[in-house]
A = this chain, B = another copy of it.
Amino acid sequence: MAGARRKPAVDATRNPSLTRGVIVSAALELMDRQGVDGFSMRKLAGRLDVSPQALYWHFNGKDDLCEAVVELVRSDVRIEIDESLSVADRIRSHMRGLRSHLSRHPCAIELGRRFLPSTAGEVSDLGVSLICDLGIADREDALRHYRALVWTVTGFSLMEHGAETSVHHTRVPGTPIYEVRLRPGLGVKPDDDSQPATVVNVDVLFETVVDVFVAGLQAAASRG
């Protein structure tokens, strides 16, 4: 609960190789590979060849560490957008960029849910101004609509990532990760093949969301 001892300082006499930075990167790597559920302090310690308790000198606990991981991932959000595109298309690119940034580190999606979906920073400023450019002049309105956009995209990523690690969704063999078999649900036994599984292409689904959302923004803009 309280803040961890700050400033490891220069005189790291014992083990100079074990710093907050080293721990966080190793944690991120482990989480991306094994998933958040598969991650543990003890495994991380083993990976770093230290005792589990050593981590507790640098971090207050697992939550503290997870938070640092989220910040690490978040610190390199960068969405490049082709300036020659129309405003609507730039918003589409923004949404796609947000999604692919989130999928870059799957673990950060799960963690990020618990550690704030922040609407701050230059990426957000850019997003808000894009919405303004579309015709939603009032800044308050633009911010609200941008927040809606962020929540929609982040929520979608959560669903998507959940689907991937799901029990019932099995990847279509031979395809990239973005196709999922949806079972009909509702009392269907896991090994019942009588009901056909529905194949959903998650990319197509996301594009649908993007299209609907942008069209909705345009409508909101033209209403004043």
Contacts and interface: CB of A to CB of B under 8 A. Distances in A.
Interface of A: 3, 63, 67, 71, 74-75, 113-121, 144-145, 147-148, 151-152, 154-159, 162-163, 165-169, 182-187, 189-191, 198, 200, 204-205, 208-209, 211-220
A51 to B, nearest CB: 26
Given A114-B162, A116-B169, A151 B156 contact: yes
A144 B204 contact: yes
B214 A113 contact: no
A102 to B, nearest CB: 12
Nearest to A1: B190
B186 A121 contact: yes
Contacts of A216: 211-217, 219
A148 to B, nearest CB: 4
A144 B208 contact: yes
Contacts of A168: 115-116
A139 B105 CA distance: 36
Contacts of A211: 216, 220
Contact of A155 (B63, B158, B189, B219): B158
A115 B166 contact: yes
